[in-house]
Amino acid sequence: MPSPETREFSVEARQVPSPAVKEFIHKVVNRVHFFPDRHDIELELAAHIEDSMLFLQEEGGLSQEEAEKAALERMGDAVEIGIALNRQHNPVLGYIWYFSRIIAVLLCIIVIFQSVPMLLVSGWTILFDHPIRDIPKESIVRHVKPNELIKLDSRRIRITDVIQTEDGDLHVLYSSYNLSFSGLHGWSSSGLGIFKDEDGETYFNGGGRSSAGIYSRARRSLDNFPFEKEKLIIEWDYAGRYYKVEIPLGEVVNNG
């Protein structure tokens, strides 16, 4: 097959095929069942016939009509050529190749459009969006780094920091991702469980925030956690799942 560049050049330079040549080519390509290849075959046959005609005119001294007739005779039976070309341009393989190319390109576009925003959000979270920046350093009175990994179904949660500020708020900072990639389409549980102290007192009031994406970082803040408490206990006990994490909070230091 000629390359697209040479084909374009040769088509412009060549003459328009005569009705007899057109009919011959038509008979040949009618036997080729893989339609997308028909145009290339038409161009190739036309070029071949024209080359043959030119040769016969120049070397054999034939007129154009005689050269055309002789060139077509040399080509052989159009139907047989068509059958042979159909075998060569296998329509089953041809159509699988043709549609697989279209499907692959479409899927590629869809996946890129869908995944790029998610990857950008996750990249932003990993590089720049750490909730520890929400907490003014000068207000910290207790700071521990438990680095505790919790496995809850396919979700992985790492408690990175527990920080108490001078106003009594206790901030639990954690990162999480899901091995089932549910974060990709926004379907996942983001809770951490029930917060207690060593005496069993539970803490619900507070706020927090969480980033979106495959990998998220979150802050859960508990209002008025007593300074005298030594432990934070995070417990999950629901629907057959259980975990309990005990985090020693250390000494309260007035860094002011």
Binding site for another protein (CB under 8 A): 90, 93-94, 96-97, 100-101, 103-104, 107-108, 110-111, 114-115, 118, 152-155, 178, 180-182, 184-185, 187-189, 236, 238-241
Question: In the bound complex, what is the minimum distance in angstroms from residue 99's beta carbon to another protein?
Answer: 9
Question: In the bound complex, what is the minimum distance in angstroms from residue 251's beta carbon to another protein?
Answer: 35
Tell me whether strands 194-197 and 148-152 are parallel, antiparallel or unpaired. Answer: unpaired
Measured from the CB atom, the residue of 67 and 192 that comes closer to another protein is: 192
- Alpha carbons 174 and 158: distance in angstroms, whole number: 5
H helix or E strand, kind and range, residue 59: helix 35-60
Angle between helices 4-13 and 35-60 (to 10 degrees): 50
Token pair for 26: 């038509």
Question: In the bound complex, what is the minimum distance in angstroms from residue 10's beta carbon to another protein?
Answer: 22
Question: In the bound complex, what is the minimum distance in angstroms from residue 240's beta carbon to another protein?
Answer: 6
Measured from the CB atom, the residue of 110 and 253 that comes closer to another protein is: 110
* Closest-CA residue to 222 (of 170, 174, 186, 166): 170
* Residue 77: strand pairing partners: none
**Phi/psi of residue 217, nearest 5 degrees:** -120, 140
Token pair for 117: 């925003």
* Sheet order of strands, 202-203 included: 202-203, 194-197, 231-238, 241-248
Tell me whether strands 215-222 and 170-178 are parallel, antiparallel or unpaired. Answer: antiparallel
Question: In the bound complex, what is the minimum distance in angstroms from residue 170's beta carbon to another protein?
Answer: 24
Question: In the bound complex, what is the minimum distance in angstroms from residue 192's beta carbon to another protein?
Answer: 11
Measured from the CB atom, the residue of 20 and 152 that comes closer to another protein is: 152
CB atoms within 10 A of CB 110: 10
Measured from the CB atom, the residue of 21 and 218 that comes closer to another protein is: 218
Measured from the CB atom, the residue of 104 and 253 that comes closer to another protein is: 104
Question: In the bound complex, what is the minimum distance in angstroms from residue 190's beta carbon to another protein?
Answer: 11
Measured from the CB atom, the residue of 133 and 241 that comes closer to another protein is: 241
- Alpha carbons 40 and 24: distance in angstroms, whole number: 15
Measured from the CB atom, the residue of 96 and 253 that comes closer to another protein is: 96
